[in-house]
Structures are given as structure tokens and as C-alpha cells.
Amino acid sequence: MIGRDRITTEFPLVVNATSSTGPDQFSTLSHLECSRDGSRHDADVVQGTSPLGAPLLARYDLERAAATVTPAGIATRAPDLWRYHELLPVRDPAHVVTLGEGMTPLLDLPRHGARIGVPTLRMKDEGLVPTGAFKARGAAVGVSRAAELGVTGIAMPTNGNAGAAWAAYAARAGMRALVAMPVDAPVITRRECVVTGAELYLVDGLIGDAGALIKAAVAERSGYQDTSTLREPYRLEGKKTMGYEIVEQLGWRAPDVILYPTGGGVGIIAIHKALLELRELGWLTGDLPRLVAVQAAGCAPIVEAFHAGLDESSPPADAHTVAFGITVPKALGDFLVLDAVRSTGGTAVAVTDEELLAAQGALARDEGSWVCPEGAACFAAVAQLRESGWLTGAEDVVVLNTGTGLIYPDTVPVDVPVLAKTGAIPAMS
């Protein structure tokens, strides 16, 4: 296992410097491809979705990348996501906007793994990135590329964490940020937007309602880009580095199963894309890991579509869960999530809020890590899949914890005695 500790002692921690490579070798980005019909589109102008309204996927000259860099070469680079820069869209290293994101720990969880019958259980802990959620990865790459293409303001709806991350990176880039989030989104994420100077609006509705307001505002403003989930191509590229890191940290090997808490689905689509790219580069051989999309029972459109054998999802009537980051009733990329799950022999699982909160507490007591409710949903799902027999217990399983529990303080009620100054702590029981 390679954690942050080992890497930072081996290599100097260099923030905001990437390598001495010049602009023409920094990225091997070649074009954008429509995720529905495969049509090619120019990657060097600001793009939203394809003419079909589908997400655009960044494509690279992977032959050139394989000829330019090797896994051994990557191992000598700074421990942040820019170590994979040939496979990222930013062409000029001078345009990299970074707060030191990436290369999060891949932790062994022996005590919790033994408890739920999966001894080789690991957690990729994204609670340790700037802004406390993996959204920082998408924001770092998305904002860098937007700035490189001349965008001066980003605008987006969010369930909280993405807005906080994009606001932070926009500030770092000297760019404006316009954010709209549901009033029910975690309160800390409002403060994160305000402190970094974003223009913030709270919406009495869900993320889709916020999205409609943002779309209308962007149409009236110049210099702003709508950076809604999968409506610009590069957030996905930042998030795919989670997939590269898991494989690198396991010694250029894939685990058997990866579980991901799925909202808009960018993370699981991105990890799938990363794995396919690594295979094409020749850096990963054999079967891809089985990818498991985990949702909360209160909002599980992708799980329902998966089990109904459908290619697209339908929004639930009344979406509600404490795992706010995965409250996405209708994801633009649902068909890509379903493809990632089906083509790897994975599955889709829904867990109740009660189950995920119980898993959150059990994990914290077993391993000392307070994960976000979205990450906790995946631990509940591992236990469920072990009970059903889908997991035998012999697999190498990696759970994505997408953020820190600190963002959601209210998920843990505190009911402890208050002592008078003259009182006494009870004797040990």
C-alpha cells in the first residue's frame, strides 16, 4: 500500500509545479467524442454537450502517451493528480490551477473488513483533498482547462460539495463563480462558497431546479460557462484520476471490485474510462474490476433501471436521503453509468439511510475514520453484497469514500453527560 506518508517522504511535495515538460508534450489530448454516436468534436474551443445533448468524452493520443511516459516515470513525480498530465486535458503547465489535490491514501481496513466478512477491504479516502470531497479533482482539472480556453466565469448547480470545490478553484484561478444549491444542501458548503467569493443562491428545490436557473442565467451573461455535471467535458477527466491512483497504488494492478456512491455518476463513469485507458496504454492487463453503483434507497433511479434491465433511468417521485451528494433524481449520464456497471459484470445496490448511518458509525469505531454518508452507503452495500453471496469474501474490494464526515456533522447525534465543575467522571465500568 502506498499512502500519502510514503510518497511525501520519497518525493518533495511540490505544489503548483508539475514538471519541466513544455506545452506540446504536457497533454496528449486529441479531440472530444460524443458519448452517444462517437462523433468527433474540437477540443480546443469551449464545448458543452454534443449536438445530441450527450456528454462529450475527452480522447487522447494514447500511443504517443505510452511512448512519452511510463509507470516508473510517473512514480518519480509529485504526489498530486497532475502526475498523470499526459492523460489530462490541460495543454500548458502554466495553466494548471492546483491546491495540491490527489494521491489520497488507499487504506487497508482489516478490522472492519473482518467484521463484514470481506478481509481484503480497502478505502480510497477522498476526505483528504482540499474542500473535503473528491469534487476537488473535477474542479481542479475543469477550472484549469476552462481558464486555458478563455472562460472568465463558471456557473453551476450543485448539491453542495461541487459548488464549494469549483468556487475554491475559481478563486485560485482568479475567475468568477456563480453557484446555485438546494436550501437542504450541507450548510458548510454555503460557507465555503461565500468565503471564496462566489456568487451564491439557495434554491427551494432539488439540484435539477437549480440547474434550470443556472442555465437561464448563463444565457444572459458573457464569459460564463455552464459547468453542470457532464455538461462540460473536463470535470470527468479530473475525477478519472481516482481510477489511475487505485491502480498505481496497488502496484499497477486492479482490485476485483470497486464500489462507488453514485449521484450524477461522473465518478463511476470516470473510473471506468480510466481503467479502459490504462488497458489501452498496456499499463493494466486482465479483467477490469466489477464496478458497483451504490445509491440511497430514497433516491435510487440507477439501481432501479439496472434491475429492470433498462438503459436509462426515471426520476423517483420524492427524492430524499441524508447522503445529500447522491440525491440526483435524473443523471444526464445514466446510460454511461449503466454501461460501466454492466460491461464490467458489476451490479447496483440501494441501501437505506438507517443502514448507511449504522455503517458510518461501525467504520469509525473499527478504523477511526469518519466517512461521509455517501461513502458509508458503500460500506453498507459491501455488507449487503456479502450477505447475499454476490461477494464471496475472497475478493479484493475497494470502496470510494468520496468525502469527509466533517461536512455532515448532523449525521452524528451527541448525547453525553454535561458535568458540573465540581462534578466527577464516573468510575470505569
Neighbours of 50 (CB within 10 A): 20
Question: How many residues of this chain interact with ligand PLP, rule: CB under 6 A?
Answer: 18
Measured from the CB atom, is 77 or 137 closer to ligand PLP? 137
28 is a site residue for ligand PLP (CB under 6 A):
no
Strand partners, 31: 59
Q: Are 318 and 326 in contact (CB under 8 A)?
A: no
The CB-of-206 to ligand PLP minimum distance in angstroms stands at 14
The CB-of-333 to ligand PLP minimum distance in angstroms stands at 9
The CB-of-156 to ligand PLP minimum distance in angstroms stands at 12
The CB-of-318 to ligand PLP minimum distance in angstroms stands at 20
133 is a site residue for ligand PLP (CB under 6 A):
yes
**Footprint of ligand PLP on residues 374-413 (CB under 6 A)?**
374, 402-403
**Footprint of ligand PLP on residues 74-103 (CB under 6 A)?**
none
β-bridge pairing 56-60 and 29-34: antiparallel
Q: Mask: binding to ligand PLP, 249-278, rule CB under 6 A, as x and -?
A: ------------xxxxxxx-----------
The CB-of-334 to ligand PLP minimum distance in angstroms stands at 11
| CA proximity to 123, closest of 244, 277, 242, 262 | 242
The CB-of-400 to ligand PLP minimum distance in angstroms stands at 8
Measured from the CB atom, is 255 or 265 closer to ligand PLP? 265
Measured from the CB atom, is 86 or 237 closer to ligand PLP? 237
Among 112, 135, 137, 240, binds ligand PLP (CB under 6 A): 135
242 is a site residue for ligand PLP (CB under 6 A):
no
Q: Are 341 and 291 in contact (CB under 8 A)?
A: yes
The CB-of-60 to ligand PLP minimum distance in angstroms stands at 21
Among 179, 326, 380, 398, binds ligand PLP (CB under 6 A): 326
Q: Mask: binding to ligand PLP, 358-377, rule CB under 6 A, as x and -?
A: --------------x-x---
The CB-of-411 to ligand PLP minimum distance in angstroms stands at 12
| CA proximity to 296, closest of 357, 213, 338 | 357
Chain positions contacting ligand PLP, by CB under 6 A: 133, 135, 161-162, 229, 261-267, 325-326, 372, 374, 402-403
